[in-house]
Amino acid sequence: MTAQEFRITRTHATWKPRVTAEDIPFFAAEGSNDVLIGLGGEVKSHTSGSGRSLVHELPYASMHDDAVSASHVDFVTLADLPEGVELNYRIDGGFNNNCIVFSWSIDDPEAYALKWVCVKTFTGMQIKYVTEKKRSPLIFAFADEDAFAYCDKMPCEECAFRCKSGFYAYACISGVGIVKIPIDRVSMITFGKFDE
């Protein structure tokens, strides 16, 4: 039997990390189509909760509405997407490191285009831009606490443990807005395994 190799990317957390329920603040700049992201200000990162149920309270969660001279962006849901626009994800990897594979399909690229995707994680966020010749998918690689996993299944079976619960993907689509997607899907195929 081969000994388990622990890579530097593997989390050392002995409890499942959690993150604030607050959204990453996106702002619409007045008089333009520019989108701004609030990273935080005076409030430092800290934890709330107790014991093995600590929540990472990241600086963006404490931003005041009057801190930016722009208005908050309202999010769109997957149900609000126009016909012919599809967004999806899957989780892949294992204990040492893992990733979210974010895919999209747009039937009418003249009307709609994916501009960027931001993934909210336990320790912060990752942003990837969709460059001119980029095709689906985008890969968001995780390490340390963001790579927390209960199992080493590749790809993820989307079981009831939902290791990435608290993660969100925010996808900016021209002609639509910013779509907010929770990364907490549970497969009904694997869900029945726990009832046996």
* pLDDT reading at 139 higher than 70: yes
| pLDDT tens-digit readout, 44-53 | 888 888 877 7
Cα–Cα dist 43/123, whole Å: 16
pLDDT of 170: 97
For residue 85, the cross-strand partners are 106
Cα–Cα dist 80/75, whole Å: 10
Pair 163, 72: CB distance under 8 Å:
no
Cβ density class 131-160: b for 16+ within 10 Å, e for less: eeeeeebbebebbbbbbbbeeebeebbbbe
Give which of 101, 105, 113, 83 is closest to 177, Cα–Cα.
Answer: 113
Give which of 165, 161, 169, 163 is closest to 139, Cα–Cα.
Answer: 169
pLDDT, greater one: 182 or 19 = 182
Residue 61, φ and ψ in degrees, nearest 5: -70, -15
* pLDDT reading at 101 higher than 80: yes
Can you name the CATH fold of 74-195? Immunoglobulin-like (2.60.40)
Tally helices (H) and strands (E) across the chain. 1, 13
Element (H, E) at 189: helix 188-191
pLDDT, greater one: 93 or 120 = 120
pLDDT of 195: 42
Cβ neighbours of 22 (radius 10 Å):
13
Cα–Cα dist 53/49, whole Å: 6
